[in-house]
Structure 1
């Protein structure tokens, strides 16, 4: 501290605190704050690095699992499309967390669907689906029928996997699913001709509704392919 002499006498003194002493705690607090901020910044960067590493590890592990899956190996061997779209699912299936569909296919329930934009005969359409490890769509419920019609072009007709090869009214699905009259969506008055053994889905402008219609198998129409999802 500094000692100040007053003019009254040689022994009169006044003691004045050194102001620099009061600044020391403030400097110390400021230095501590800078250190704390630096530590927080380091922790944040470390967290981001670890998170990035974890995500990369999980994706690599999931890719490894996918490559080892037998269904995927068959899928890749037979598919002409190898890019997949994965979706995290809330599933009760033990150990199944992700579902996969080919890119440019649409997902509904446990299946993937491909909506063609080119026209082929029923047989050519089924062969095209087979080349993609799929089959012409098999419709099992009103929910599935509604999902399909929401994705169809009203100005086109689409072959499905239902046919009557013998023309005797014995309708058969391509995957051998039993044909149930109670789960059919024929347009009013259909089917009409035994000479039209293949089935299309189209939009009837007169009644503004979608439904099934029997048609010639040699007609060239669009189609819908279906395949089961891959679960991992």
Structure 2
């Protein structure tokens, strides 16, 4: 009986070997690599997705930073420009002695390149702008277009003006109804005006200039379109 049993065991082992099955060997390695490969592909996709999201975040941050920088640069330029204008006007002063019946020295001080008259300071531009642009330029310099309400001021101004140029003043008629008004709300006094003969001449001309007109060879006021550059 022992011999028969041993023969049967040997035969069974030989059959297993011939069929390619080893009872003591582990399972086919390919059966274990399939889930590992799927997990690796999923990890690569997840990593790629995270990388894309990170890049998008960096792009958005860069765009936001550029916009923020440009906005603040513009604000900084505006502030620097305004500070420069203010310092140029209010820091660099020129003082002159004025006539006075009082004892001692009486001085009048104005910003550099401005002229003094009757406790006020006046600037004479050399570039051409519309009435609105000129008034905005005056506002940036903490001033306003000139108000002329006396013969003395008219004469002072024209003595410092170029006869070949024309200068906007702070008088306008916004509605074209002949209701002239000064920019500083000074009452319009018809008896203290210096219109050229025949002026004002047109209901659509709502702004006023000071100019030297031929053939009279005199300075005076003329109404004009506000969009014209003077």
Tell me, which stretches of 5 or more residues in structure 1 are unaligned?
1-74, 222-232
State the distance in 2 between where 1:211 and 1:88 align.
30
Seen in structure 2, the aligned counterparts of structure 1 residues 90 and 212 have a Cα distance that, compared at 3 Å, is closer
| Structure possessing the higher relative contact order (Cα contacts under 8 Å, 6 or more residues apart) | 1
Give the alignment partner of residue 200 of structure 1, picking from 192, 209, 213.
Answer: 209
Give 1:92 deviation, angstroms: 8.3
Give 1:76 deviation, angstroms: 9.2
Q: Which residue of 1 aligns with 2:125?
A: 116
Deviation per residue, 1:9-50 (Å, 9 max, x gap): xxxxxxxxxxxxxxxxxxxxxxxxxxxxxxxxxxxxxxxxxx
Question: What are the equivalent positions in structure 2 for 1:140-159 lying under 5 Å apart?
Answer: 140-159=149-168
Question: What are the equivalent positions in structure 2 for 1:81-92 lying under 5 Å apart?
Answer: 81=89, 82-89=91-98
Residue aligned with 1:126, SS: helix
Instruction: Give the helix-richer structure, 1 or 2.
Output: 2
Alignment size in residue pairs:
147
**Is the contact made by 2:88 and 2:111 (CA closer than 8 Å) also made in structure 1?**
no
State the distance in 2 between where 1:152 and 1:90 align.
23
Seen in structure 2, the aligned counterparts of structure 1 residues 185 and 90 have a Cα distance that, compared at 3 Å, is closer
The question of 1:215 aligning with 2:221 is answered no
TM-score by structure 2 length?
A: 0.59
Q: Which residue of 2 aligns with 1:104?
A: 113
Instruction: Give the strand-richer structure, 1 or 2.
Output: 1
Runs of 4+ in 1 over 2 A off after TM superposition: 75-82, 87-93, 96-99
Tell me, which stretches of 5 or more residues in structure 2 are unaligned?
1-82
TM-score by structure 1 length?
A: 0.58
Which structure would you say has the larger Rg?
Answer: 2
Give 1:88 deviation, angstroms: 3.9
